[in-house]
Chain A
Amino acid sequence: MIRFVLADLRRLWAASLVIVLLVALATALGVAVTLQERALRLGSARAADKFDLIVGAPGSETQLVLSSVFLQPAALPLMSGDVLTRLTADRRVAWAAPIGFGDNFSGYPIVGTTTALVKGTTTGFTGGRMFALEGEAVVGSGVDLAIGAEVKPMHGAAGEGGETHADSAYTVVGKLQPTGTAWDRAILVPIQAVWHIHGLGEDHHEDEAHEEAGGEEHHHGHIDADAPLVEDFSHDVPGLPAVLVKPKTIADAYALRQAYRAEGGTRAVFPAEVLTSLYATLGDARTVLMYVAYGAQALVAAALMLIAVIHVAQRRRQIGALRAFGAPRLAVFGIVWLELLLLVGIGVGAGFAVGYGAAEFLAGLFTAQSGVRLPVEFSHSDALMAAAFLAVAALMAALPAALAYRQSPVEALRA
């Protein structure tokens, strides 16, 4: 029977190919949506994994997470530098590090921070070493700069036009191992350099919103490239957009969040919690897209039924002859059923491959832009989805097969 089915499909290869393509595309649509949504969820969760607690000025919690964890350019309000002073002194805190934005270089955000953050959120260096002077920089694995390269910071967020800080430059001294987060695309410099370059720190311009790109009234300073690294935040800390806090225990994390949420002038968020609410939105989008995919699949299924029924009608003579020459009715049913199921099966298989490829491609584009690595992977539920597709196909293929089964050979041959 298989041999006959294969010979038949080979003879009708063009039509078979079209059917396989239709099924593959409809399947790929659903698979790509499912895989991509899962990849976004897993990827963003992994990217936020090292970011236990973020403290910032009151404002949008979502924006605070997007800007600090995903380094999305945005003007964050500043909070008083005293917050960092108090956090570093807090017994419940393992380490706390400032995150200062504002400049970029060739589209890479320049982030001012501390050695504690670099050590705490990365797995180490692939080359070079940690910054030790004010004019030294460490780059993420996704930054296309070699050790020794010079970085002239541009004022303003990545992607926006901005003036250069003409007299200031960093030297790349280390390259980090990949982390699969947005920070892979960041140039990390000592926070004191960011303060100095914007004329902060010594002059206590704590209220200045230094993120506002294009503002004309900046007190431009410059970095002292050979100044030693100072990571003492016990007094006179300038205003800050965000502080990453590593609490000692989970209980400490909740206590800290409570403390800095209640307090005026600050806001404390668990990025994981903010992401969870984003996932709900993502899930809604996925649901909508899945209904679109289901609609496409239903259309393809209906078209396939039409093709199958017409095909059986066109081949009544052949089917009648099979019966007349001694093929059992069940064999006739089996041939039609198997041919359809085989085509749908190949289509579903190809659809999973195409869907996976499409999701990988989109994830690649996303990673190139944001630095966040999206893991495109199948799970058990996908096997269930494939099984469900095939089960529906098996049921639907039974209809034309039953038509062939019921057809009288005499009437078929008389035509």
Chain B
Amino acid sequence: MLPLALSDVAISFPGLAEPVLAIDALSIPAGGRLAVTGASGSGKSTFVNLISGLTRPDRGTIAWRDTDIATLSESGRDRWRAANVGLVMQEFHLFPGLAAIDNVLLPARLAHAATAEVKTRALDLLARVGLSRPGQSVETMSRGEMQRVAVARALLRRPGVIIADEPTASLDAEAGAEVGRLLIELADQEGATLIVVSHDERLTERLGRRIRLAAGRVVSDTALEAAR
């Protein structure tokens, strides 16, 4: 599990005077739980992109334990993300024509990291997210099942942190609740730090801490009593 420390981070887009996101200081302990909320355009997606290393800030440090990913090259961030981040997005980004198990293994295979142990783990993870047919083609699955495949994929390489961007927004209430439950349960079991960007109250209220973004700034930071 990884602790996160942001300091003096800012990122602007060309043509915009104000930075899209500016965070002076934010830290999450290893194994911590964080919910991020905010209206659309508040900088939530930029936040996800920054802490997952998809984009680099204009300034500041984004330190996951000892690694400041703001200083890494694009390929370096790709490698770091592949090894340390389990990403779950609103869109599942599964690849049609491949079976569930092959979708789970795809990023690892492309990175030449699919050892026999990793393959066994992929089957195990599919079972743990409640999918009994690893050979099933993903386009024949329900949306809830697809997102569960995506969760299994995120966890494959034992990431130190799970970052979920609106993981339940495209699901119905029941499937959303199931995916939310799985995320928290698996993060606990795997000992991963969990950061969830979501509007879904039922999901965010189960996390230990909630920050709210507005116009690119952290406007509230609440510890939630009702966690778990």
Which A positions have Cβ atoms within 8 angstroms of B? Answer: 1, 3-4, 7-8, 10-11, 317-318, 321-329, 331-332, 335, 409-410, 413-414
Contacts of B52 in A (CB 8 A): 324
- Find residues 73-108 in chain B having any chain A CB closer than 8 Å to their own CB: 74-75, 78-79, 81-83, 85, 87, 89, 91, 93, 95-98, 102, 106-108
Q: Does B111 contact A (CB under 8 A)?
A: yes
With A326-B111, A328-B78, A410-B54 known as contacts, the answer to whether A318 contacts B93 (CB < 8 A) is yes
Q: How far is the CA of A302 from the CA of B87 in the complex (A)?
A: 38
Task: Name B87's contact: one of A325, A329, A414 (CB within 8 Å).
Answer: A325
Contacts of A413 in B (CB 8 A): 54, 89
Q: How far is the CA of A327 from the CA of B95 in the complex (A)?
A: 13
Residue of chain B at shortest CB distance from A11: B97
| Count, chain B residues at interface, CB 8 A | 31
A410 → chain B, closest Cβ, in Å?
5
Q: In the complex, are the beta carbons of A328 and B109 less than 8 A apart?
A: no
Q: How far is the CA of A331 from the CA of B102 in the complex (A)?
A: 16
Contacts of B111 in A (CB 8 A): 326-328, 331
Q: In the complex, are the beta carbons of A321 and B81 less than 8 A apart?
A: no
Contacts of A8 in B (CB 8 A): 95, 97
Number of A-B residue pairs at CB separation under 8 A: 78
Task: Name B79's contact: one of A4, A322, A325, A328 (CB within 8 Å).
Answer: A328
Residue of chain B at shortest CB distance from A3: B102
With A4-B98, A7-B98, A8-B97 known as contacts, the answer to whether A329 contacts B108 (CB < 8 A) is no
Q: Does B67 contact A (CB under 8 A)?
A: no
Q: How far is the CA of A326 from the CA of B109 in the complex (A)?
A: 10
Contacts of B97 in A (CB 8 A): 7-8, 10-11
Q: In the complex, are the beta carbons of B109 and A4 less than 8 A apart?
A: yes
Contacts of A409 in B (CB 8 A): 54
Q: Does B16 contact A (CB under 8 A)?
A: no
Q: How far is the CA of A325 from the CA of B81 in the complex (A)?
A: 8
Q: Does B219 contact A (CB under 8 A)?
A: no
The 6 closest A-B pairs by CB, nearest first: A326-B82, A321-B93, A331-B110, A327-B110, A326-B107, A11-B97
Q: In the complex, are the beta carbons of B109 and A3 less than 8 A apart?
A: yes
Q: In the complex, are the beta carbons of B78 and A329 less than 8 A apart?
A: yes
With A324-B87, A326-B78 known as contacts, the answer to whether A1 contacts B110 (CB < 8 A) is yes
Q: How far is the CA of A335 from the CA of B55 in the complex (A)?
A: 23
Q: Does B157 contact A (CB under 8 A)?
A: yes
Q: How far is the CA of A4 from the CA of B114 in the complex (A)?
A: 14
A313 → chain B, closest Cβ, in Å?
18
Q: How far is the CA of A95 from the CA of B98 in the complex (A)?
A: 77
**Most A C-beta atoms less than 10 A away, residue of B45, B54, B55, B87:** B54
A sample of 9 inter-chain contacts (CB < 8 A) reads A3-B98, A4-B106, A11-B96, A326-B83, A328-B75, A328-B82, A335-B110, A409-B54, A414-B45
B64 → chain A, closest Cβ, in Å?
15
